[in-house]
Structure 1
Amino acid sequence: MSDWAFELVSAWGLWVVAGSAFVSCLAVPVPTSLVMLAAGAFAAAGDLVLWQVWLSGWLAALAGDNTGFQVGRWGGRPFLGWVARRTGRHRLIARGEAVIEARGGVGVFLSTWLLAPLGPWVNLVAGSLGLSRWRFALWDTAGETIWVTAYVGLGFAFGTQIDRVAEVVSDWGGLVSALAVAAAFALALGIKLRRRRDGSRPARAD
């Protein structure tokens, strides 16, 4: 897969970086992370310019996310239901709704890099649920900055070991996601137990 990514970037350069980043934010299954790593490696070799690689990926990712958000805003909840039926992604859309309802803009931020598989669906959900456009844009920009910088930077630093880096990043992402979910559950449980304990305390007489 990494050889394929190298060939694609070699042939199309910044166009494939931008194109893959854009469509991946619209739930098209393309290996954008590998493309970013390969482009970073080409920048390290001097075949591409690092800041141009980063900027093209960053702008395209923002454009893709905001396109998904706008489509969700136009379609509303009925559109979400139609998408769920057409794609079979009921669980991902339901998880996206839960993230936005619980976390709002922070949920958008996390979905761009920490919970990346949810990203395209969170974009649609955020638009359909009426999240503020500026709030979405602010958190989305912060998250995509982390995502693009991480992958392009890793490719630039470890270009000769793309296969190993891709494997490590994938495992690391899974581990971090699992830890984040566990921490969220632990926090929710702690808050619930604290409220129950506070509610069971007898009122103090003044």
Structure 2
Amino acid sequence: MIQIPPSAIAQWGGAAVFANVLLTRLGVPLPSAPLLLFAGTAVANGRLSFVSVLVAAVAGALIGDGVWFAAGRIHGRKLIAALSRRSYAIDNGMRTTGALFERHGAPIVAVSKFIPGLGLVTPPLMGTTQIAVPAFVLWDTGGIVAWAAFWLLGGALFQRQLQWTLMELHLHGATVIDLLVVLALIFFAYRLLRRKPPHQPSDKSG
């Protein structure tokens, strides 16, 4: 199995977080929370800087969200319709986000980071609205900072439990990379299942 020396964690931790968060925000079916949790344990151990990892996560998320926001502003409702046709989950997320935006306004951009299924669909949908770019960036940045800090601090807080998990993995010949790969596969399967609409019972009356 792949072994990760402490020097590699210190050198590539921030870059790994940036790449992971960026790919997730661009729509690649990769979970971000597990890596942020383990980065939090590295911060607690003094192997990584909290500020550098937080900046890496925020930068990756802002770039990804910015790409989708710009795409929504350029292509408008055509993009939303195309995304909605891809899966039931995206279509449902678009409807939910639209309704929440009409009710609560721009703050939903920040809140959506904590609502499963809305973090990815909110930027392109906001691009089709009249929300000003500075307002979107402000609320998006605030939500990303809170979201990334939540997982990093959670990793630091539950450092002992996560370290125990790593020790168990090591005893079974695995590493954190193996765990992250398994979690990514599970997340990918979950995303595939969400693409399908719920089964509608046929109406045999009459």
TM over 0.5, yes or no?
A: yes
2:110 matches 1:109:
yes
How many angstroms apart in 2 are the aligned matches of 1:125 and 1:82? 12
Q: Which residue matches 2:72?
A: 72
Percent same amino acid among aligned pairs? 27
Larger Rg: 1
How many angstroms apart in 1 are the aligned matches of 2:103 and 2:20? 30
Contact 1:112 1:119 in 2 (8 A): yes
Letter in 2 for 1:101: E
Letter in 2 for 1:110: V
How many angstroms apart in 1 are the aligned matches of 2:76 and 2:106? 18
How many angstroms apart in 2 are the aligned matches of 1:59 and 1:91? 28
TM-score by length of 1: 0.69
How many angstroms apart in 1 are the aligned matches of 2:76 and 2:163? 41
Letter in 2 for 1:13: G
Q: Which residue matches 1:126?
A: 126
Letter in 2 for 1:73: R
Q: Which residue matches 1:17?
A: 17
Unmatched tracts of structure 2, length 5 or more: 166-206
TM-score by length of 2: 0.69
How many angstroms apart in 1 are the aligned matches of 2:141 and 2:55? 12
User: Which gives a bigger RCO, structure 1 or 2 (Cα 8 Å, sep 6+)?
Assistant: 2
How many angstroms apart in 2 are the aligned matches of 1:71 and 1:162? 38
CA displacement at 1:131 relative to structure 2:
1.7
Report how many residues are paired: 160
> Are residues 92 and 164 of structure 1, via their aligned partners in 2, closer, same or farther at CA, if it must alter by over 3 Å?
farther
How many angstroms apart in 1 are the aligned matches of 2:76 and 2:87? 17
Q: Which residue matches 2:99?
A: 98
